[in-house]
Amino acid sequence: MRVPFLDHPRPIAFAHRGGAAHAPENSWTAFEHAVELGYAYLETDARATSDGMLMAFHDRTLDRVTDASGPINGLPYRDVQALRVGGSEPIPRIEDLLGAWPDVRFNIDLKDEPGISLLADVLRRTGAWDRVCVTSFSGSRLRTARGLLERPVCMTTSPAAIAAVRCAISATPHGPQTRLLAGRFSRSEMRCTQVPGRVATGSFMRRAHALGLDVHVWTINDRAAMTRFLDLGADGIMTDDIETLRDLLIERGQWYPRAAG
């Protein structure tokens, strides 16, 4: 069953962390650049501060991308607000990003447990249920999120579900095993699978499609690899190099930008 988040022409172009090849990752500048290029889908990460603010930040600690150190969840929002990514960029709140572009959709990777309930609160306040896809490398976090979200939201497959797709890759496309798995995914609101390039083989994509799942491949920054996965039938590509992906899709007649506004 198609969900509003995925109601867009294929292939979908995702600006990974806003397009980290062109600006500091998960920064306002990165997201703004992607939107100006016409990206309708932005990918980001969600972590909580010590006092319950949900921030667009990837790492557990601040060390790699800021001049501070230690876990981000050890600081209150007022301290996190004063930090700068790459020496110049403030760390955005998830709620502010959702509010900045009401026509843009967000792929949100839940990076910690406290962020789960905070995301539910943010979606309740913003009404952005149909504009987000919730993903995580933790099946436990995905299950908890499904239980807390009061409305259906697009979800990605859990790591265990990805393994199930890979293990069952030789199953008959319309056989009982396929129907059983497809029903399980549908009941869990799993509408897409997001996998690294090494997993996204042609057979994996065919099997996922038979199970009713879109396939989004990450994080593809090489033009030749982008072409290969598109030719294999990927439903979406996540990239840091958003200019190269856009140019390639334009050349292929497959660039579907957001409506200006």
Interval 210-255: pLDDT, tens: 999 999 999 999 999 999 999 999 999 999 999 999 999 999 999 9
> b/e per residue, 67-87, with b = 16+ CB within 10 A?
eeeeebbebebeebeebebee
Q: Tell me whether residue 59 is in a domain.
A: yes
- Note whether residue 227 is domain-resident: yes
Domain span at 246: 9-155+221-252
AA identity, residue 226: M
The stretches in the chain having pLDDT less than 70 are: 1, 169-174, 260-261
In a domain, 204, yes or no: no
Query: What is the per-residue pLDDT across 53-64, written as a single tens digit (0 to 9) for each?
Result: 999 999 999 999
The confidence score (pLDDT) of residue 173 equals 63
For residue 40, give the CATH number of its domain: 3.20.20.190
pLDDT of the residue at 167: 83
Nearest to residue 219, comparing CAs of 54, 15, 22, 29? 15
Per-residue pLDDT at 166? 87
The backbone torsions φ and ψ at residue 8, rounded to the nearest 5 degrees and listed phi first, read -150, 145
Residue 182 lies inside a defined structural domain of this protein: no
Taking the C-alpha atoms of residue 77 and residue 59, their distance in angstroms, rounded to an integer, is: 16
> Nearest Cα to 242, choosing from 5, 8, 4, 29?
29
Active site residues: 16, 58
> Are 189 and 130 spatial neighbours (Cβ–Cβ below 8 Å)?
no
Distance CA 126, CA 193 (A): 26
Question: Quick count: other Cβ atoms within 10 Å of Cβ 257?
Answer: 14
**pTM (predicted TM-score):** 0.95
Count up the domains in the chain and report the number.
1
Reference 55, options 1, 108, 2, 100; nearest CA is 108
Quick check: is 232 in a domain? yes
Is residue 1, in this structure, part of any structural domain at all?
A: no
Q: Is residue 234 part of a domain?
A: yes
Read off the tokens for 117.
């309930």
Q: Is residue 165 part of a domain?
A: no
Virtual CA dihedral for 234, 238, 240, 241, nearest 10 degrees? Answer: 30
Nearest alpha carbon to residue 101 among 181, 169, 42: 42
Residue 126, pLDDT score: 97
Cis (ω within 30 of 0) for the bond into 11?
Answer: yes
Other Cβ atoms less than 10 A from the Cβ of 6: the count is 19
Residue 177: per-residue pLDDT = 74
pLDDT of amino acid 192 = 96
